[in-house]
Amino acid sequence: MEEWRDTTTLDQLFESIKDCRRCSLAQNRTNLVLGAGDERAEIMFVGEAPGFHEDKQGEPFVGPAGKLLDQLLNSIGLDRKQVYIANTLKCRPPENRDPTPEELKTCTPFLYKQIELINPRIICTLGNHATKILLKTSTGITQLHGKLVRKGTLTFVPLFHPAAALHKPPLKSVLIDDFQKLKELLKEEKSRREEEKQASEEPLGEEDAQPEQMGLF
């Protein structure tokens, strides 16, 4: 039953949970939507839950909100194949209602397992649910959007949900601006990686090159 915990790839994880019946969302589901994209992505996006189109196709963000997400990714020189996209819930809630606390409790261990397997540097939380869960906060996205939150080597970037920007057009320009912050962050990450690489390739300095003196006395 809990074999998913020992899986070491996303395909294995999907195989072990695709017939999940841990909550009532299984009753009306067409497909469990685990996620899609690069298993080794540096950047991960986490939305709320599959909607109508996602449930039918088994892929995250393939409806109107997904089209906007694609445009936003393109605006910073990325496409969805270079990132990984997932949701807090893996099955569609009826009429796209909000996830219940019980459903989130049941389903988010799978999200944490995905994060462990992908090991991204950056996680963009899309909307209130993903932001509150992953940042363990009760503060809403209106206050948190665009503010980077660093936890060890991982940086969280809370963003408005693209569906919210479709309902409230003024939010679209906020989202576009926040994606520019993400672009800057990606640039920083790139130079940090290059510095790390250079440092690891540099010949040892004189001091480092001295053999360790044996303590003879």
- Rounded least distance, CB 81 to ligand URA, Å: 16
How many Å apart are CA 81 and CA 83, to the nearest integer?
6
How many Å apart are CA 121 and CA 127, to the nearest integer?
19
- Rounded least distance, CB 203 to ligand URA, Å: 49
Nearer to ligand URA, 172 or 189 (CB): 172
Which stretch of DSSP H or E encloses residue 70?
A: helix 64-75
- Rounded least distance, CB 201 to ligand URA, Å: 41
Which x/- pattern over 136-175 shows residues binding ligand URA (rule: CB under 6 A)?
---------------------------x------------
- Rounded least distance, CB 101 to ligand URA, Å: 17
- Rounded least distance, CB 92 to ligand URA, Å: 9
User: How many chain residues are in contact with ligand URA, going by CB under 6 A?
Assistant: 13
Q: Which of residues 8-67 bind ligand URA (CB under 6 A)?
A: 47-51, 54, 60-61, 63, 65-66
Q: Which of residues 76-95 bind ligand URA (CB under 6 A)?
A: 87
Nearer to ligand URA, 29 or 189 (CB): 29
Q: Between β-strands 84-87 and 43-47, what pairing exists: parallel, antiparallel or unpaired?
A: parallel
Angle between helices 10-17 and 101-118 (to 10 degrees): 150
Nearer to ligand URA, 96 or 197 (CB): 96
How many Å apart are CA 57 and CA 42, to the nearest integer?
25
Query: 124 in helix, strand or coil?
Result: strand
Interface positions with ligand URA (CB under 6 A): 47-51, 54, 60-61, 63, 65-66, 87, 163
